[in-house]
Amino acid sequence: MMLWTAAEPAPNPRRVNIFARAKGIDLPMTELDMFKGEHKGPAYLAKNPRGQVPFLELDDGRVIAETIAICRYLDELHPEPPLFGSTAFERAETDMWTRRVETQLGTAVGQAWVHGHPFTAKMFTQVPAIAEAARGTATAAFRWFDKQLAGREWLAGDRATMADIALLTIVDFADWIEVRAPAECADFAAWHGRAKARFV
Amino acid sequence: MMLWTAAEPAPNPRRVNIFARAKGIDLPMTELDMFKGEHKGPAYLAKNPRGQVPFLELDDGRVIAETIAICRYLDELHPEPPLFGSTAFERAETDMWTRRVETQLGTAVGQAWVHGHPFTAKMFTQVPAIAEAARGTATAAFRWFDKQLAGREWLAGDRATMADIALLTIVDFADWIEVRAPAECADFAAWHGRAKARFV
């Protein structure tokens, strides 16, 4: 098994690293040089046609890409501690929260990065209106998560899950590009402290 | 168990309906009136704070929202025919493809709808530049899926899965808002024909 990945602080490599560490899995990994576009070369495109890292190559050559899918696979191989859930309901609940994280906040942070950051200006045709709308969407999402986290420790109530890892990695990357929760989001800030203490 | 949902052709209700039918599950359901905003009233917001349908309410009051999470839960309760997979690898592979469908095409189609359709003009502050970029992203995604589908029947190779249902419901909704695959995407068109024959 080989995880083809890249150096942190890239958020997707970091997400799988955090998950593997929380599981106590010592994952063989090779870092590709994203800045040289190594992961988009023909050898790696043949493995993951999306041209992204990380992806997991099994010993028989089969590949699993997409961070949540990689973690889901590792979770089935190493069930303890459970980070997706131990019952059908818990697994669905984790999936629900992970999707809420990705669709409400993850997409917006990604668009703020692609369309609004000086670093990506050379790589993409930036549309400032997209970045501006994305920042507004992110702010609304932070407020929504703040409200949901009132009176609970983790997204899925009393269980720390993959959804918390997904949110943590997005939030820390968002901070790096100066997309941040409004100061009054106290329940969100408290969750962030717990998530860092638990996973980082 | 109650599926709180809405009338087709709304794509998310349709996705769960198609899944349940493929599984032979007779799901109790109640349609809310989305045009009157019934699903955003306090009684339903207390059940699903995202204010979206469909969501599944269990007999004990617990709720699962997000279409893929709902289908994942139903799949565990009714394993046959398998639409997420029968092994850890297959389940991860289905998740990978479902994510590729949603992140590459689903998000773009959603933004083309929200920011570019006359129907949504009264509901959202539309930014035409976002709709334009989203249409370009969707075209690129159609071409990418066309390339991946060359020489295979389904996204996950020889297995029809949740990922195909996700793609089918997005593509049919996209067609309705006039976001369509380029005419030369023959492998994509062939897949679309198979997916309709298998699931609709």
Judge whether B154 lies within some domain.
yes
**Cross-chain residue pair A73–B66, CB shorter than 8 Å:** no
* Residues A63 and A162 placed together within one structural domain of the fold: no
* Residues B116 and B181 placed together within one structural domain of the fold: yes
**Cross-chain residue pair B92–A77, CB shorter than 8 Å:** no
- d(C-alpha A102, C-alpha A163), whole Å: 9
Residue of B nearest to A94 (CA): B69
Cis peptide before A54 (omega within 30 of 0): yes
Structural domain that includes position B187: 88-199
**Cross-chain residue pair A73–B89, CB shorter than 8 Å:** yes
Residue of A nearest to B99 (CA): A66
Judge whether A34 lies within some domain.
yes
* Residues B94 and B126 placed together within one structural domain of the fold: yes
Categorize the per-residue pLDDT at B157 as very low, low, confident or very high, splitting at 50, 70 and 90: confident
- d(C-alpha B102, C-alpha B137), whole Å: 12
Residues from chain B that touch A130, judged by Cβ atoms under 8 A, are: 127, 129-130, 133
* Residues A147 and A50 placed together within one structural domain of the fold: no
* Residues B118 and B150 placed together within one structural domain of the fold: yes
* Residues B122 and B153 placed together within one structural domain of the fold: yes
* Residues A108 and A164 placed together within one structural domain of the fold: yes
Residue where one domain finishes, among candidates B77, B107, B138:
B77
Mean of pLDDT over chain A: 96
Helix/strand/coil for B184: coil
Helix runs in A66-152, H state only: 67-77, 88-100, 107-116, 128-148
What CATH number is associated with residue A167? 1.20.1050.10
Which among A64, A88, A144 is the nearest to B93, CB-wise? A64
Judge whether A82 lies within some domain.
no
| Mean predicted confidence (pLDDT) in A129-144 | 96
* Residues A121 and A45 placed together within one structural domain of the fold: no
| The pLDDT of residue B123 | 85
Residue B28 has pLDDT above 90, yes or no: yes
Judge whether B82 lies within some domain.
no
Overall number of domains in chain B: 2
What CATH number is associated with residue A7? 3.40.30.10
Residues in chain B whose Cβ is within 8 Å of chain A: 49-50, 58, 62, 64-66, 68-70, 72-73, 76-77, 88-89, 91-93, 95-96, 99-100, 103, 107, 127, 129-130, 133, 144, 147-148
Judge whether A83 lies within some domain.
no
* Residues A72 and A110 placed together within one structural domain of the fold: no
Q: What is the pLDDT of residues A32-46, one digit of tens each?
A: 998 888 999 999 999
Residue where one domain finishes, among candidates B40, B56, B77:
B77
* Residues B58 and B105 placed together within one structural domain of the fold: no
| The pLDDT of residue A8 | 81
Number of H helices, E strands in chain B: 8, 4
**Cross-chain residue pair B69–A92, CB shorter than 8 Å:** yes
| The pLDDT of residue B13 | 95
* Residues A54 and A119 placed together within one structural domain of the fold: no
Q: What is the pLDDT of residues A67-124, one digit of tens each?
A: 999 999 999 999 999 999 999 999 999 999 999 999 999 999 999 999 999 989 988 8
* Residues A145 and A182 placed together within one structural domain of the fold: yes
Kind and range of the H or E run holding A63: strand A63-65
Residues from chain A that touch B103, judged by Cβ atoms under 8 A, are: 107
Q: Is the Cβ–Cβ distance between A161 and A99 less than 8 Å? A: no
| The pLDDT of residue A10 | 81
Categorize the per-residue pLDDT at B93 as very low, low, confident or very high, splitting at 50, 70 and 90: very high
Judge whether B100 lies within some domain.
yes
Residue A159 DSSP label:
B
Determine the distance in angstroms separating the CA of B148 from the nearest CA of chain A, rounded to an integer.
8
**Number of Cβ pairs < 8 A linking chain A and chain B:** 86
Judge whether B34 lies within some domain.
yes
**Cross-chain residue pair B92–A99, CB shorter than 8 Å:** no
Residue A157 has pLDDT above 90, yes or no: no
Mean of pLDDT over chain B: 96
The pair of structure tokens assigned to A184 is: 């009054």
Residue where one domain finishes, among candidates B77, B100, B129:
B77
Judge whether A119 lies within some domain.
yes
Contacts 24+ apart (CB under 8 A), A184-188: A185/A142, A185/A143, A185/A145, A185/A146, A186/A146, A187/A146, A187/A147, A187/A149, A187/A150, A187/A151, A188/A142, A188/A145, A188/A146, A188/A149
Site of tokens 């929260």: A97
**Cross-chain residue pair A95–B89, CB shorter than 8 Å:** no
